[in-house]
Amino acid sequence: MSKQYRTAITTHIDGKPHVYGYDLNKLAGNSSFARTIYLILKGEMPDKNSEKMLDAMLSIAIDHGVEPASVVAARNVYSGGSPLQAAVAAGVLAFGEYHGGAIEMAMENFKKYQPFGVKKLVEDFAKTGVRVSGFGHRLYTVDPRTQRLLELAKEFGFWGKYVRFAVDLESELSKGVKLLPLNIDGVFAALLLEMGFNPKVGKGVFIIARTPGLVAHVVEEALREKPVRRLNEKDIEYDGPRPRK
Ligand SMILES: CC(C)(COP(=O)(O)OP(=O)(O)OC[C@H]1O[C@@H](n2cnc3c(N)ncnc32)[C@H](O)[C@@H]1OP(=O)(O)O)[C@@H](O)C(=O)NCCC(=O)NCCS
């Protein structure tokens, strides 16, 4: 009879935890965190350039200011009196299709359409009106984080068919009414495919990258702000009914 849980990730060998066969006690002190993250997500050790690429991605996405929905959610939940873990979890819950949660879908799209070319994707999406995951940004017309990661992709040997497809798609989409820059989710998607990751890890990589930022914001909220944030009434427009009898 099969056992209740099956896992290939971690087990104890001679009393010591091993991840995919690697002794954590030996990795500690010898392996970077990015390298160990790659191992646990993929089941194998990265080569030097894959390690550097993943490390750059994790660093560049660590925070993006107090403004994003996830940080506002995390800080507000903490300010209501909930503990750090609840506040950070609230921040993670705000990662959705429009903010940090588009990587998996972008990976699926790139995989599906890369053999047919960018024009086919643009045509199909135009018919349905669905937004193309990984493109567009509220703040940027050119996302500087994307530009840096593309530079590093060239340097570390990841300028392959998926990165080319993503860059070509950015040009094709931007022929429309609005500039739609390749955003951080889009460039992550292309790079994760170049590194051979399954699309299912996509959202997880963003969560891993951004969680230290969320923790920092919640700790700052704890140390610097008074409890109970409240919106200022002058910033609220009430457009409901006037008093009724
Ligand atoms: C990120 C995003 C929310 C930023 O939006 P924005 O720059 O404020 O743009 P708006 O929401 O004002 O949309 C303006 C127009 O551009 C279009 N548009 C925006 N992003 C688009 C995209 N990725 N694909 C196709 N059309 C897009 C919208 O449909 C909208 O057209 P409409 O007015 O006819 O509805 C948006 O670009 C988006 O939804 N991108 C796809 C999801 C994604 O990549 N998320 C990860 C973000 S890091």
pLDDT higher than threshold 90 for residue 190: yes
Q: pLDDT > 70: what percent of the chain?
A: 100
- For a mutational test of ligand 1's pocket, the pick from 105, 127, 135, 142, i.e. the residue with the most ligand atoms closer than 8 A to its C-beta, is 135
Residue 54: the pLDDT is 98
Asked if 182 contacts 166 with a C-beta cutoff of 8 angstroms, the reply is: yes
Residue 203, ligand 1, Cβ within 6 A: no
Question: What is the enclosing helix (H) or strand (E) of 12?
Answer: strand 10-13
Please choose, from the candidates 222, 231, 239, 205, the residue with its C-alpha nearest in 3D space to the C-alpha of residue 41.
Answer: 205
Residue 111, ligand 1, Cβ within 6 A: no
Residue 92: the pLDDT is 98
209 beta partners: none
Residue 187, ligand 1, Cβ within 6 A: no
Q: What are phi and psi of 157, to 5 degrees?
A: 85, 30
| CA dihedral of residues 240, 241, 242, 243 (deg, nearest 10) | -120
Q: Which residues of 188-201 are buried (b: 16+ CB within 10 A; e: fewer)?
A: bbbbbbbbebebeb
Nearest CA to ligand 1 atom 16: 178
Residue pLDDT, tens place only, 1-10: 789 999 999 9
Q: What is the mean pLDDT of residues 175-186?
A: 93
User: Is residue 178 very low, low, confident or very high in pLDDT (cuts 50, 70, 90)?
Assistant: confident
Distance CA 24, CA 42 (A): 16
Distance CA 198, CA 104 (A): 9
CA of 146 to the centre of ligand 1 (A): 17
Asked if 168 contacts 134 with a C-beta cutoff of 8 angstroms, the reply is: no
Predicted structure pTM score: 0.96
Residue 182, ligand 1, Cβ within 6 A: no
All domains of the chain in start order, with CATH = 12-46 (no CATH), 103-199 (1.10.230.10)
